[in-house]
Amino acid sequence: MELMPMVLYAGVLLQLILAGVAAAILFERKVIGYMQLRTGPNRHGPWGILQTVADVLKLLIKEDIIPHAADRKVFVLAPIIAFVPSFAILATVSWSENLYAADLNIGVLYFIGLSSVTTLGVLMGGWSSNNKYALLGSMRGVAQMISYEIPLVLSIVGVVILVGSLNLRDIVFFQESIGLWLFIPQFLGFVVYMISAIAELNRSPFDLPEAESELVSGYHTEYSGFRMAFFMLAEYVYAIAISALATTIFFGGWLGPDFLPGEFWFLLKMCFFMFVWFWLRATLPRARVDHLMNFGWKVLIPLALLNIVITSIIKVWMG
Amino acid sequence: MTGQEIMFIILALIAICCASLVIVLKRISHRVLSMAFCSFAIAGLYFLLRAEFLGIIQIMVYVGGLTVLFVFAVMMTDHRTTTFVPERSKVFKFVSFIGVGSLLSIMLIGILGMDLPAGTEPFIGTAEAIGLELYGNYVIAFLGVGILLLAALIGAIVIARKEADEQ
């Protein structure tokens, strides 16, 4: 793509993602509300549609507080470092056969590599706050993110072996050619991916970095106003991005019946994954930190490795 | 000047500035952060050279891995009172200045005197080509590096264990 359309694409995508995050938060509160036999937000606009808008407005006009003892520069920089990679990874997502930004031949690697930068933002935020809860939260968060990044990557390796390409679009074309979505032949990999994705996202039942009963609010305890909004934004954009990745590599991307455009099928599948995150949040209690670590290292990583071995054997055997 | 050259100059300036900030800045957390930005700029240079794989690996290893490791190491140790060495004498400064200066001039002479033939076809460093080279031609060297890293890891654990037991 030329420079101008590229900038335009990025600008439009940013607006759409912001609207999408607002919708996702409303969706989350409604889903959890109905699961707990209440209606959820219903005061602002019909069906509570303006609830998130009101929340965001509140966060934006709130007083900006930087603690006196905080390391000012790092404190200001941390939310940006956390947010930028979560948006940058969306560049490789191919929304339909014709609508995509970058046809990168190492798309999967780009996705995983850049998202690991978010860890730095979380760590910097927690550390520069000069607060014990923030520090503990960020250390937990980083330990969890680093541990669960390994099974997340390993679970994708099975797909990469089958397809023989790191290009996200090639993965979808491969699923089109075999006429099967990859979550069926790669079911073990899919399960490992889903579990480690939730831990990567710091979502319930693995939301230990911000366990409010023990850590107040985790690594963003000292953040308020729009800086806090930035952390929340990063979290939700990341949730959308991980859903998009799951859709692309396991659920056939934009593939679907022909009577509706590919973008619609892509968004529908993405919404399904978002619903799964919210569903789990409403139903499962929080895991304990040592259980979480044991589960990651002793169960998920061996399972992911087993998946790679089986996939390689089948690939060599089938030729 | 083409767009590529402009991007190169911007990225190179960022890399050099951040690299010198690593030495200049006072607080160690700021140093670690500027090191991360330096690695980012170098990854950008790799992207400019169409070595996408190398660029991503640069970000993954240096920003996502090494910098986080650094921050952890700094967090675990008492960093407020850390000074690297006591103030050096004038003679020491002079000698090190001459040493660094001569190293720089030798490198510059080497780089400027080097005669690299301009490639006719644009080279794209794909992951596939790198994988074939790494696990084909250089597989023994690759295994050797793996064993070396494993030994270093075990050594670090043994040393850390010993210190933990003594306390």
> How far is A58 from chain B, CA to nearest CA, in Å?
31
Q: What pLDDT does A133 receive?
A: 84
Task: Read off the pLDDT of residues A10-35 as tens digits, 9 standing for 90 and up.
Answer: 888 888 888 888 888 888 888 888 88
Tokens of B6: 């402009």
- Interface ipTM > 0.85: no
Q: b/e string for A55-80 if b means 16 or more Cβ within 10 A?
A: bbeebeeeeeebbeebbeebbebbbe
Which amino acid, B47?
F
Task: Quote the pTM value.
Answer: 0.82
- Per-domain residue ranges for chain A? 1-61, 70-318
> How far is B59 from chain A, CA to nearest CA, in Å?
7
Q: What pLDDT does B102 receive?
A: 94
Q: Is the pLDDT of residue B163 over 70?
A: no
Q: b/e string for A103-141 if b means 16 or more Cβ within 10 A?
A: ebbbbbbbbbbbbbbbbbbbbbbbbbbebebbbbbbbbb
Interchain CB distance below 8 Å, B68 and A146: yes
Residue in B52, B56, B67, B76 to test binding to A, most A beta-carbons within 10 Å:
B56
Contact A121, A82 (CB under 8 A): yes
Name the least confident of A13-27, A69-83, A296-310, B92-106.
A69-83
Interchain CB distance below 8 Å, A116 and B65: yes
Q: Can you spell out the DSSP letters for B60-94? A: IIIIIIIIHHHHHHHHHS--TT--SSPPPPHHHHH
- Residue entry with tokens 């699961």: A35
Q: Is the pLDDT of residue A317 over 70?
A: yes
Q: What pLDDT does B152 receive?
A: 93
Contact B32, B71 (CB under 8 A): yes
Q: Is B70 on the interface with A (CB under 8 A)?
A: no
Contact A256, A89 (CB under 8 A): no
